[in-house]
Structure formats: structure tokens, C-alpha cells
Amino acid sequence: MKLPIIAPSLLAADFGNLQRDVEMVNRSEAGWHHIDVMDGVFVPNISYGMPVIEAIQKHASLPLDVHLMIVDPDRYIETFSRLGAQNLTVHYEACTHLHRSLQHIHQAGMKAGVALNPHTPVQLLSEVLQDIDVVCLMSVNPGFGGQVFIEQTHQKIRQLRTMIEERQCNTLIEIDGGVTLTNAQALLDSGADVLVAGSLVFGSQNPEATISKLAALTAN
């Protein structure tokens, strides 16, 4: 049995009280801070820029799990390393030379993640899976919080878990979008390792207790 890594998405936090919410996550049973960076081009939304991430880093005591939903992410790999990201995830759909991008992230001293949009098959990662530390499966269409979970994600998790085991990789499977207390156990049972939760955590009356409920779940 293994415990999941819970990564509260700060995109759903109260930006007027961001330090408070970051410190709440620090105290909780979460494992990572999840930070979504959007450029309004790759996805139809814009989130925070470098100064806000720098401010988050000053107060965060947990690893920063940065998810780039931007075009040409290679331009900013060194920047996010300087900002203190421990994990840097780029989208398969945004990288012309994915293997080179993964090498660049590792050379910058970070763990390398690859995110897949709902329509992108996991099999497309077969040639680079050994170079990926985290695969982030988007279980909603990227760009906005609070969307409904896409049920096909369970099958993608199982397919990816089989690929990881066949290649004897240590790659983690992260689920981003529509995670609830109702479907979290099934996601772990399908093979997920990391659960990103934004609206679920920060929209609850007791965010710290909600994180604890997720962290207490187990999977085989």
C-alpha cells in the first residue's frame, strides 16, 4: 500500500491572501505546491507571472510543482529553475523537440514532467518515458479550474501504469483536474500517484482537513 502525494493547486487559492494559503498548505499533509502557469495562447486563460511565483517561493516549505501551459516553454526553463521549481512540467503538445526539453530541465537541476491533454494518447510517450519523472494526465481541458472530470482518464492511467511497469521506470502519474473526494480513491486504484486538487481544497470550509482526507487514501 502507498500513500498519494497531494498537490493543492494554488490557482484556486485566495490571491488576496496568498501567503496565508501557501502557509496553510505548508502545515497540511500535502506533498507539493502545484503552480499552473498559463499564457493565454496555449490555453485560453492567463494566470500568474514570475513575480508572483517568486513571492510564493519565499513562503513555501514544500516543493514547487510548476505546470507550464504555455507555448515554447524551453525559453523559460532556466528562469523557473532560478525561481525554485523542483518539478517542471511541459506539455507534449507544446514541445517540438520533447527529448531535448526533458534534457534541458534535468540539466537545470529540476525533475522533468510531461503533461498530456485529454485527447493525447499516452503511447506517444513510449520513446521518452525513461526520461520523464512525472506524467501529468489532464483530466479536464486545461485552462480553467472547476471543470467536470473526464472519465476516460481512468483508462489512460491504467495504460500508462502498464507502460511504466514494463519499462521498470520510476515515473509518477499525476492527475490534474476534477479530482474530488468521490473519485480520488478510484484514481489511485487505477494507478495514480499524485492528485492535484484546487477547487476541492480551497473551495472547502476546512481546506487543511480536506487535504488530510485525500492524503489518508491508499493504493496498491
CATH no. for residue 142? 3.20.20.70
Percent of the chain with pLDDT over 90: 88
- Using 70 as the pLDDT threshold, list the residues of the chain that sit under it: 1, 143-147, 220
Nearest Cα residue to 85 out of 100, 106, 69, 99: 106
DSSP string, 5-70: EEEEBGGGS-GGGHHHHHHHHHHTT---EEEEEEBSSSSS-B---HHHHHHHHHH--SPEEEEEES
Structural domain tally of the chain? Answer: 1
- The pLDDT, as a whole number, for residue 143 is 66
Is position 220 within any domain? no
Mean pLDDT of the chain: 95
Give residue-wise pLDDT tens across range 87-105.
999 999 999 999 999 999 9
Residue of 21, 36, 65, 133 with catalytic role: 36
SS3 112: strand
- The pLDDT, as a whole number, for residue 200 is 95
Domain of 13, in residue numbers = 5-215
Whether residue 133 lies in the annotated active site: no
Is position 162 within any domain? yes
Residue of 21, 39, 133, 176 with catalytic role: 176
Is position 66 within any domain? yes
Percent of the chain with pLDDT over 70: 97
What is the pTM assigned to this prediction? Answer: 0.96
Give residue-wise pLDDT tens across range 103-136.
999 999 999 999 999 999 999 999 999 999 999 9
Is position 94 within any domain? yes
Is position 72 within any domain? yes
Q: SS3 helix, strand, coil % of the chain, rounded to 5?
A: 40, 20, 35
Is position 158 within any domain? yes
Is position 107 within any domain? yes
To the nearest 10 degrees (0 to 180), the angle between helices 207-215 and 18-27 is: 30
**Residue for cell digits 504555455?**
70
Is position 33 within any domain? yes
Whether residue 36 lies in the annotated active site: yes
Q: Taking CA 199 as the corner, what is the angle to CA 161 and CA 194, rounded to the nearest 5 degrees?
A: 20
